[in-house]
Structure 1
Amino acid sequence: MSEAMDVMATPPAAGSAIQLSAVEEVRKADIAQRRQEAMVILKSIPAETLKAKHAERFFKDIVHTNPTNHQQLRGQCMNCTALISSTGSARFASHLATCSMAPADVRDSFKALERAKEKKSSAKREALALANEESEVVAEEHEAGQVALKQQCIRAGIKSQEVAAADDAIANFFYANGISFSAADSKATSLYRTMVRAIQKAPPEYIPPNANKLSGPLLDGCYDSLWNKMAARDPDGALKRKFGATYVSDGWDSCDHLPLINSAFISNNDGGMYWRSVDTSGKYKSAEYCALLMIQDIYDFGPTNVVLIITDTCATMAKAWALVEDEFPWISVLCCQPHVVSLLLKDIGKVKEVATTINDEATVVSWFANHQFPFAKLREMTLQKLGKSKELVRAAATRFGTHTLVGQRLQELKSSLQATVVDADYVAKNYKDASNTEEVTATGKSIRTNKGATTKRLVLDDDDFWTRVDTHVAVTKPIMKMLRRFDTSAPAIGKVYSSWFELGEHIQSSDASYKTKCLDAHTLTAGHMAILILPLLLT
C-alpha cells in the first residue's frame, strides 16, 4: 500500500506514456483493494449502524450481498427454540452462555468466552482510566506551559518589533546617504558586521561619533593604526630585502577635480600599500618634477628595498624613467600592462576597417539608446527571444576595450534587434535618417544621432554588418582577456612575455582582412615590451 502511495505521490514525467500507464494500474489496484476491505467491514456490520458518509460511498455497491430478507434478520436457538433478533454472533454467544437447554460443555465454552471478553474490556477500561489521568496531568502541564508561552510570545513579539525597527533604521541610513549595498557584507569578519557587534557591546548611553570626531581624532587614529598594521606585515624588513618592492605611480583627478599624483608600493604579494597623494595644482608636470616625486618616495621607503618601477607610457614618464634609473642604477622600469594593452586596442581601432565597424556598432547602439520607442520595442523583443532582460552596452571614452564588449552584446542581441526592426509597429513609424541634434544638458552639450534608416539596414545585415562584427570580436576578444588578466591585484609579471607572444600567434591565425595591420601594431608594442621585460627575466 505504501509503495503504491509513493508511486502516486511522484508525478510522471511529461510525455512518458509507459510510466503514466504503470501509475494508473497501481492506482486501480489500490482502489480495488480499498473497496474489498470496505466490503468485508460492511458485511460484518448491520447496514443500519453505518454512518451516512460510509453508506453513501459503499452500501449501494454491496447491497445485494447483505442479508436483507426477514428470515435472515432473525435467528432461533436450536436448543430452546428462542428467537434472537439478530444474525450477529454476539447475541447468540450471550444466549448460549445462559441457555438451560444447551449442553454443559457448550455453556462452559461460551461462558469462558464471556469471561475473556469481560477481562479484555476491564483491562481496556483500566487503560482508558490511566490514560485519562495522564491526559489530565499533561493538560495541567500544558496549561502552565501556555501561560509561560504567552509571556514568551509577548517578549518575542516585542523583540521582533525591535529587530524590525533596527533593520529599518540601518536601511534608511543606507538609502539616505547613497551608500552602496555591497557595504553591508554578511561575512563575520567584514567591517560592517564588526561595527554592528561593537555597537551591541556598547553601553545603552553610548552616543555615536559626530562628523567632527570622525574627521578629526578618529581619522588620525585610523591612520596611525593602518601604518602599524603595515609595519606588522614585515616588522624587520626581511621580506622587502628578500623579494624587493615595486613602486607604482599614476595621476588622475580627485572627486573635487584636484590633479593628484598617487603612489603605492607592492612587496611580497601583500596586495600593495598606498603611500601618498600629491596635489599638483599650479605645477607643470614635467619629467624632472615627476622624477623628483618618485625619487623622494623611494628614499622615504628605503631605496635598497625597491627593484621595479611601474608607470604609464606617456612621453613625460619615459624621460622620468631615465632620471630615476640614473639615481638608482639597480632599479628597473616597466610600463603598466593594462595601459599598454589598452593602447594596442586603440591602435587597432584606428585601422580603417575596424574603425568603420566600431562606428557602425556605435550607430546601432546610439539609435536605440537615444529613442524611446525603439528602445522599448527592443526590450520587449529581448524578453520574448531570450526570456530575460539584457541591455545594449555603450563604449566608454578612453576605455578602448569596451568596443569589444559592445560587439559581444550586439552578437547576443542579434535576433532581438532583427525582430525589432521588422516588427509591424516599428515599421509603421517609418524611421529615416536625419541630421544629428545638439542637446544642452546640465553637464554640457551632447550630440544625438538620428540614423533610423541606417540602423535598420545594418541590423538586417546590409554591407555584411554582422560578419564584420563577428570578425571584430574574434580579433579583439583575446586582447580584452589579456587586459583583464593584468588589470588585477594578482601577481602577473611572470605572464607578460608569454601573453604577448600568444597574442601575436592569435592575430597571425586570424582570418581578418586587416590582420597584417593588427600584427604591425602588435609587433611595435611587443617589441618595446621585450626591451623592458627581458632584463627582468634575465636577472
Structure 2
Amino acid sequence: MPRALSDVWRHFTPANVQGKSVYMCKYCDKTYVKNATKMQQHIAKCKKIPQGPTHAAARSSTQGENESVSAVSESDTHSSAPGPSGIRGFFDFMDDTSQKNADECFARAIYATGSPLMLTSNVYWKRFLNVLRPAYIPPTRHALSTHLLDEEFSRVQAKVKQTIDQADCISVISDGWSNIRGQGIINYIITTPQPVFYKSVDTKENRHTGQYIADELKVIINDLGPDKVFALVTDNAANMKVAWAHVEETYPHITTIGCAAHTLNLLLKDIMALKTMDTLNKRVKQVLKYVKGKQVTSATFLSKQKEKNKSTTLKLPSITRWGGVVIMFDSLLEGKESLQEMAISQSVGIDSDIKKVILDDVFWERVSSSQKILKPIAAAIAKIEGDGAILSDVQCLFAELKEEIQTILPTSLLLKAEETAVVKSLEQRREFCMKPVHAAAYMLDPKYDKGIL
C-alpha cells in the first residue's frame, strides 16, 4: 500500500519559477522545492495564514482532518452558513493536479470578468469557496498577478498562434489609440477569418508617422509570414495612407483597405457637420444637459419614465462610441412625453428657453426626421464592425444604404444643398472604401443575388 501524502501539500500550489519546478505557499508565496518536512515547518510559523500558524500546523499534521472549518474566525461567521459537514467535509482532499486545475479555472474567471485580484482575500468569497470545496484554498493575490497570469497569457498566445498557423490566408487589422495613461498604443487584430487579438505595441516616444507605422506593419507581416497575408485594414487617416504606399511597395500582393466601419462613421460626421444638423445637435445637447445636470429635474424625469414603465434614460453621445448621436436622439424621443409633462407642470421649475424647445413641435419633427437619415448609417456601422462581417457584405451594404438614404432625403427637413451634400459625401466615402477585392468577394458569395446591384 503506497504511503499517504502529508496534508501539508494542500497549503502549497505548484509553480514554475525561472524554469524550476517549485511549490508556493498560498498565504505568503514563499517557494520550496519538493520537501514536505521544510514545508511543514514553514506552515507551522507562517504569519499570513488567516487563522494563524498553530491552527494550520495542526491541520497539516495528519491527513484527512476536517476541512470544513472556514478560513475566517468563528466570531466572524455568525451570519453565514457553516461549511460542509459529515463524510464529505471530513475526508475532502485535493491532489496537486486537481488543485492546479482549480487555480487555473479560478484565475481565468478573474481575468475574463475583470474582477479584482483581491477577491480571494474577501471573507465572503472565502466562505463561499469553502462551502463548495473545503479542501480548496484559492490562490493569493500575488499568485494571480504573477505565475498564474503568466501561464494564462502563454496559454492564450499558444491558442492564437495555433489558430493563425491553421488559417490558409489572413488579414491584418491595425488601429492606434491612447490608453488612460496617455501612452500611444497600436493594436493588431488578425482575421482567420474569425478575428483574434494578436499584439499590442507601446509606441513610446515615436510619433505615428506614415513611415513608422509602415515599419511596424512590416514587422508584423514578416512575423506572420508574408505569403499568408492578403490584406491590410486600417482607418483612413493621412498617415495610414502613407503607410499603405510603403507596404504595397514591399508586398505588391497585399491589398490595403480602409476600414468600412470607420468610413461610415466619417459619413455620419459629414452629415452632422451640415448647418441644419449641427444646429439641431446643439439644441438637443442643450436640453439633455439641462435636465441631467439638475438633481430635481433629473429625478422627476426618471420618476415619470418609471410611471410609464419606461427604463430609458437621457444619454449624451460618447466620443469613443460610433453612432452615439443616434443613441442620444433615440433617448430624447423615448423621453418626449415625460419631458413635455415636466415643461407643462407648474411644480417643476424649468428654464423658459428649455421649456420653449421641449414644447416646440417643429423641434421634435426635426429630431424624428433626422433619425430617419442617421439610423440606417448607425445600423450599417453595427453590422460591419461585428465579428461576423465579411468582405462580400461591404458592397451590398453601401448599395442598400445609398438606396435607403436617397428614398428618405426628399421627405427630410434638410435644405436642397444639404441633401446634395449628403449624397456626394456617401459616394466619396464609398469610393475610398471600396476596392476590387470587395467586388470579387461579392461576386463569389452565393448568398447574394448579383442582379440587385
TM over 0.5, shorter chain: yes
Q: Which letter maps to 2:420?
A: T
Cα distance in 2 for residues equivalent to 1:227 and 1:356: 49
Q: Give the number of equivalent residue pairs.
A: 325
Work out whether 1:229 is the aligned partner of 2:159. yes
Q: CA deviation at 1:279?
A: 1.3
Q: Which letter maps to 2:191?
A: I
1:455 maps to which of 354, 360, 370: 354
Contact 1:346/1:400, CA 8 A, preserved across alignment:
no
Cα distance in 1 for residues equivalent to 2:139 and 2:320: 41
Cα distance in 2 for residues equivalent to 1:467 and 1:361: 12
User: CA deviation digits over 1:128-157, x for unaligned, max 9?
Assistant: xxxxxxxxxxxxxxxxxxxxxxxxxxxxxx
1:339 maps to which of 239, 262, 272: 262
Q: Which moved more, 1:245-254 or 1:396-405?
A: 396-405
The 1:416–1:276 alpha-carbon spacing in structure 2 relative to 1, beyond 3 Å, is same
Q: CA deviation at 1:503?
A: 0.8
Work out whether 1:352 is the aligned partner of 2:352. no
Cα distance in 2 for residues equivalent to 1:415 and 1:181: 41
The 1:480–1:458 alpha-carbon spacing in structure 2 relative to 1, beyond 3 Å, is same
2:203 maps to which of 280, 287, 295: 280
Cα distance in 2 for residues equivalent to 1:531 and 1:258: 33
Cα distance in 1 for residues equivalent to 2:379 and 2:439: 26
Contact 1:245/1:306, CA 8 A, preserved across alignment:
yes
SS in 1 for 2:204: coil
Cα distance in 2 for residues equivalent to 1:387 and 1:200: 40
The 1:508–1:393 alpha-carbon spacing in structure 2 relative to 1, beyond 3 Å, is same
Contact 2:392/2:439, CA 8 A, preserved across alignment:
no
1:516 maps to which of 420, 431, 440: 420
Work out whether 1:240 is the aligned partner of 2:240. no
Q: CA deviation at 1:159?
A: 10
Partner of 1:506 in structure 2? 404
Partner of 1:420 in structure 2? 342
Matches within 5 A, 1:152-301: 160-162=81-83, 204=135, 207-233=137-163, 237=165, 239-241=166-168, 244-269=169-194, 272-301=195-224
Identity within the alignment, % = 26
User: CA deviation digits over 1:477-529, x for unaligned, max 9?
Assistant: 11110011012211332211111111111111111134322112111111212
Q: Which letter maps to 1:361?
A: V
The 1:347–1:286 alpha-carbon spacing in structure 2 relative to 1, beyond 3 Å, is same
Partner of 1:495 in structure 2? 393
Cα distance in 2 for residues equivalent to 1:264 and 1:396: 24
Cα distance in 2 for residues equivalent to 1:266 and 1:320: 20
1:525 maps to which of 425, 429, 443: 429
Q: CA deviation at 1:180?
A: 11
Q: CA deviation at 1:276?
A: 1.9
Q: Which letter maps to 2:156?
A: L
Cα distance in 1 for residues equivalent to 2:360 and 2:112: 42
Contact 1:342/1:399, CA 8 A, preserved across alignment:
no
Partner of 1:48 in structure 2? none
RMSD: 3.1
Cα distance in 2 for residues equivalent to 1:317 and 1:337: 14
Partner of 1:474 in structure 2? 372
Partner of 1:307 in structure 2? 230
Work out whether 1:383 is the aligned partner of 2:282. no
User: CA deviation digits over 1:358-378, x for unaligned, max 9?
Assistant: 111111111101112222222
Q: Which letter maps to 2:256?
A: V
Cα distance in 2 for residues equivalent to 1:210 and 1:382: 46
Cα distance in 2 for residues equivalent to 1:203 and 1:373: 51
TM-score, normalised relative to structure 1: 0.55
User: CA deviation digits over 1:48-100, x for unaligned, max 9?
Assistant: xxxxxxxxxxxxxxxxxxxxxxxxxxxxxxxxxxxxxxxxxxxxxxxxxxxxx
Partner of 2:297 in structure 1? 374
Cα distance in 1 for residues equivalent to 2:203 and 2:381: 29
The 1:375–1:489 alpha-carbon spacing in structure 2 relative to 1, beyond 3 Å, is same
SS in 1 for 2:247: helix
Cα distance in 1 for residues equivalent to 2:299 and 2:220: 54
The 1:517–1:245 alpha-carbon spacing in structure 2 relative to 1, beyond 3 Å, is same
| Residue ranges of structure 1 left out of the alignment (5+ in a row) | 1-157, 164-178, 185-195, 432-451
1:485 maps to which of 365, 383, 394: 383
Q: CA deviation at 1:225?
A: 2.0
Q: CA deviation at 1:264?
A: 2.2
Q: CA deviation at 1:379?
A: 2.2
Q: CA deviation at 1:211?
A: 3.8
Cα distance in 1 for residues equivalent to 2:321 and 2:214: 27
Matches within 5 A, 1:88-99: none
Partner of 1:320 in structure 2? 243
Q: CA deviation at 1:308?
A: 1.0
Cα distance in 2 for residues equivalent to 1:289 and 1:200: 55
Q: Which has the higher contact order (CA 8 A, sep 6+)?
A: 2
Cα distance in 2 for residues equivalent to 1:265 and 1:520: 33
* Higher radius of gyration, 1 or 2: 1
